[in-house]
Amino acid sequence: MASLELRRVLSAFPRELERDLRQAGSSDALGRFEFRDLAEGNYELVAQAPSFQPETRVVLLSGDPHPELELELAPHGFLEGSVVDAKGVRVAGATVRVSEGAGGDVTDANGAFSLELPAGAYRLTAALGSQMGVADEPQVVEVGATTRCPIIQLGRPGRMEARVVEAESWTPLEGVRVRIQPAASLSVTDAEGRFSVEDLLPGEYRLSAAADGLTDEAIRVAVNAGQTARPVLALRRMGALEGRLLTGGGVGATGVSIEVGWHGADEPIVIQPDSAGRFSTGSIPAGTIKVSTRSATGVIRSSDVFSIEPGKVTRRDIFLRSTGRISGTVKGADGAWPGSAMVGLTSSHGGNGVLAQVPVDDQGAFSLEVTEGAYLLRAYPSGQYGAFGPSVEAAVRAGSESTVALILPHQVRALAGVVVGPGGAPVAGAAILVRGSAFEARRVADPFGRFSLHVPGDGEFEVRALRGGRSAVILSRPDTGLTLRLTEGARVRGTVRGDWRTDEPLQVTIRSELFEELLSEGMDGMQFRGDQFDLVDVPAGRLRIVVTTRSGAQGTANVVVAPGQTAFISIELARLTGRDP
């Protein structure tokens, strides 16, 4: 029996759910459920049951009878293994834990453990007294399957001795709040900007720091058994941007939101100017920021780049660009109105970003306001985003209207399949990239490893999938029975030579020839101390490894590594010109 909760969606972007009004229910012995007397609108339905992954579905209720929903919950998998001491003898009573707070177990008299977990990749650790151990690579749990983990051997713990400095002057920062995860350790830096943490399990940690008037920063740090990791975090001073939002005639503008973004921000902050067009960002990181303005209808009215000085208020006015209008009609390839379609708008100057999506009315017509410039428009069937018809270019001048005639694609085909691991079990959460002629789309595999999308025509498409370091690439025509079997990830160990400050960490970044667009943040910006680094669970194939230091030393190496294999490389650091050592 599954428990269910239904909540009304008040806003899709930004996402907002009705807080107070919610309905709870449960399924019967046959899995059936029902909610009655619901008003029209969007609802979020969450179903969950013991030993299954929760399933969330957004449902649109209109005046028409809604078809019966079917929710399929993915069963948990199991992760099993054993723990041994430094001499290889199985130990009882060792505590085994996994990352992301997903649970743990204690080894039995034979040193064995078993964990029930949702599908995903987990970092596995073990501890007994002062002895600690970690699985060499992330362990992947498949839906409804059992994964056997390599033996975990206990040994000496590692430690971290870190320093926090001010980025511009490299001076130590006292009183900075520091967090280490997944160890959940909190600390505060001393007068020399230092802090230390003892008895850390070997493995990878996220080190973050925060202080008033400074940027929040985070890096990934590798801790080895019996060794001390010595990372350095550099925080930037905050600044601010103030000014007025003005029309082309210099009059304060209202009804337009201001979006401010910078490198490392998860999403831009949104500001509403006052009745005279005045605005202030408040404290933001010093450096380069991008500022865009957007009308209530979603039209981007301006886009600027500003430089924010640390510890100061930068004053700049923003001028809105004039607008025009694009109107047109949409027809099917046979010249008839198909009854339902959407229009996508992008810039004609390149880039894949969609500037706007507008529905076509019952007569096959559409109209939208845009700033002056050149655009590409493409029509696609409703609910089949990506299955675009031919592109049509439109040039818009201030106060004018351009008209276009769009055609839907001659054929729209379904491309669907499942992502499985090397052993054939479905892989949840795999990132998928599909490319064809003038076509690109991304998907994420569901809890059963499935994905689906609509593509234009019946030409050949390249499909890539990535989960951690496991990857697959195939070429296929539209098909609903594709299977992407992931190959094992690889490992890269390296030695660094050259002249750099010994107190500086090495920043190591991975670039993949085939999977650059799908790589997660975990593949970027790993910190290592000393002259060696170790990268585990990376995509196999041709890789470019980049090593940098704050003082300007940099080195690169290209390597080809096979699935399941380890590559050994050496990188020579050279100091970039124009940087102080």
Residue 218 is predicted with a pLDDT of 84
Residues 497, 565 share a domain: yes
Residues 330, 309 share a domain: no
CATH number at residue 447: 2.60.40.10
Residue 520 is predicted with a pLDDT of 60
Cα dihedral angle (414, 474, 459, 446), rounded to 10 degrees?
Answer: 20
Could you list the residue range(s) of the whole structural domain that residue 231 is in? 158-235
Residue 579 is predicted with a pLDDT of 45
Residues 218, 164 share a domain: yes
Residue 367 belongs to some domain of the structure: yes
Residue 226 is predicted with a pLDDT of 80
**Integer CA distances (angstroms), 152 to 88, 135, 371, 373, 560, in order:** 10, 6, 60, 61, 29
Residues 85, 44 share a domain: no
Nearest to 61 by CA among 30, 101, 23, 97: 23
Residue 72 belongs to some domain of the structure: no
Residue 249 belongs to some domain of the structure: yes
Residue 101 belongs to some domain of the structure: yes
Residues 307, 259 share a domain: yes
Give the DSSP letter string of 243-298: EEEE-TTSPBP-SEEEEEEETT-SS-EEE---TTSEEE--SEESEEEEEEEEETTS
> Which of the listed residues 153, 178, 201 is the one where a domain comes to its end?
153
Residue 187 belongs to some domain of the structure: yes
Query: Burial, 87: exposed, middle or buried (Cβ in 10 Å; 0-12, 13-18, 19+)?
Result: exposed
Residue 542 is predicted with a pLDDT of 93
Query: Burial, 60: exposed, middle or buried (Cβ in 10 Å; 0-12, 13-18, 19+)?
Result: exposed
> Which of the listed residues 153, 170, 201 is the one where a domain comes to its end?
153
pLDDT in tens, the chain (581 residues): 889 888 877 654 444 556 656 788 999 988 899 888 887 777 888 899 999 988 888 777 766 666 678 888 889 999 999 999 888 899 999 999 886 556 788 999 999 999 999 888 788 888 888 788 888 777 888 888 888 888 898 888 888 998 999 887 889 999 999 999 876 678 899 999 999 998 887 777 888 999 988 888 888 887 877 888 888 888 888 999 999 999 888 899 888 899 998 876 778 899 999 999 999 999 998 888 999 998 877 778 888 999 998 888 999 999 998 889 999 999 988 888 877 888 988 887 765 567 788 889 988 999 988 888 899 999 988 877 778 888 899 999 988 999 999 999 888 888 899 999 887 888 888 999 998 877 788 889 988 888 988 888 778 899 999 998 899 999 988 888 899 999 999 999 999 988 777 667 788 888 888 888 877 644 556 777 778 888 888 899 999 999 988 777 889 999 999 998 999 999 999 876 544 44
- Count of structural domains within the chain: 7
Residues 336, 385 share a domain: yes
Q: Where are the beta strands (DSSP E) in 73-142?
A: 77-84, 95-98, 104-106, 112-117, 120-122, 124-128, 131-134, 139-141
Residue 486 is predicted with a pLDDT of 93
| Cβ–Cβ under 8 Å, residues 350 and 391 | no
Residues 378, 432 share a domain: no
Residue 281 is predicted with a pLDDT of 94
Tell me the HSE value of 517 on the side-chain side, using a 13 A CA sphere.
14
Q: How far apart are CA 176 and CA 401, in angstroms?
A: 56
Residues 462, 512 share a domain: no
CATH number at residue 92: 2.60.40.1120
| Cβ–Cβ under 8 Å, residues 101 and 183 | no
DSSP state of 99: G
Residues 542, 526 share a domain: yes
Residues 199, 144 share a domain: no
Residue 13 is predicted with a pLDDT of 43
> Which of the listed residues 407, 428, 449 is the one where a domain comes to its end?
407
Residue 69 belongs to some domain of the structure: no
Residue 395 belongs to some domain of the structure: yes
Residues 403, 327 share a domain: yes
Residue 8 belongs to some domain of the structure: yes
pTM: 0.64
